[in-house]
Amino acid sequence: MIIWSRWGILAFLFIGLGVGLGFVIASIFGLAKQSGPIVPVFIGIGFLLSSVGLFFFNRYVVDRHLDKPRALTVTRPLAQPYTHPDGRVQTHEVVPAVDGQTGQPIVVKPRSTLFFVPMRFWPFVIGGLGVVLIVVNAVVLAIG
């Protein structure tokens, strides 16, 4: 079972980037070797940073270049087979699909998903997870 389509797997990469950023930030402050709820706070901060990165990556790379709209094509049979000079026989041709009512070419926009959720929503999911990690572990630190 494939759980992503097209470039949706990149959301996993940014989740891993968030965890890595959290450990890097914690080690910068010298807190990576401590046990307790302090490290998940930094992982939450890493998730927030990676969600910002995923937002801009999705907006400026995935939407503009990787998932840009393209013309739909169809294969139709030729009225008469065509024989090329090298001996190949061509019986079909690929042409742009056209809307029958308007005569305009049909354009499709591919969509990248992870767990059937479009890629454009994943920055908010990762950012929300980061906020939850920060709040819950900050409360645990404040109480105990």
**What is the average pLDDT value for the chain, to the nearest integer?**
88
Domain with 78, as residue range(s), is 70-108
pLDDT at 95: 86
pLDDT at 46: 92
pLDDT at 14: 92
Q: What's the Cα-to-Cα distance from 121 to each of 11, 16, 37, 45, 130, rounded to whole Å?
A: 10, 17, 28, 19, 15
pLDDT at 144: 72
**Judgement on whether residues 7 and 37 belong to the same structural domain of the protein:** yes
**Judgement on whether residues 62 and 97 belong to the same structural domain of the protein:** no
**Judgement on whether residues 121 and 131 belong to the same structural domain of the protein:** yes
**Judgement on whether residues 64 and 28 belong to the same structural domain of the protein:** yes
* pTM beyond 0.85, yes or no: no
**Judgement on whether residues 48 and 83 belong to the same structural domain of the protein:** no
- Residue 34 predicted with pLDDT over 90: no
**Judgement on whether residues 144 and 99 belong to the same structural domain of the protein:** no
Structural domains in the chain (count): 2
**Judgement on whether residues 89 and 130 belong to the same structural domain of the protein:** no
**Judgement on whether residues 9 and 80 belong to the same structural domain of the protein:** no
Distance CA 133, CA 124 (A): 14
How many Cα neighbours within 13 Å face the side chain of 10? 21
The string of pLDDT tens digits covering residues 88-140 is 999 998 988 888 899 888 888 888 888 888 999 999 999 999 999 999 988 88
**Judgement on whether residues 26 and 13 belong to the same structural domain of the protein:** yes
Work out the average pLDDT over 72-81: 89
Burial (CB < 10 A; 0-12, 13-18, 19+), residue 8, is: buried
**Judgement on whether residues 94 and 119 belong to the same structural domain of the protein:** no
Q: How confident is the model at residue 68 (pLDDT cuts 50, 70, 90)?
A: confident
**Judgement on whether residues 138 and 89 belong to the same structural domain of the protein:** no
**Judgement on whether residues 91 and 22 belong to the same structural domain of the protein:** no
- Residue 50 predicted with pLDDT over 90: yes
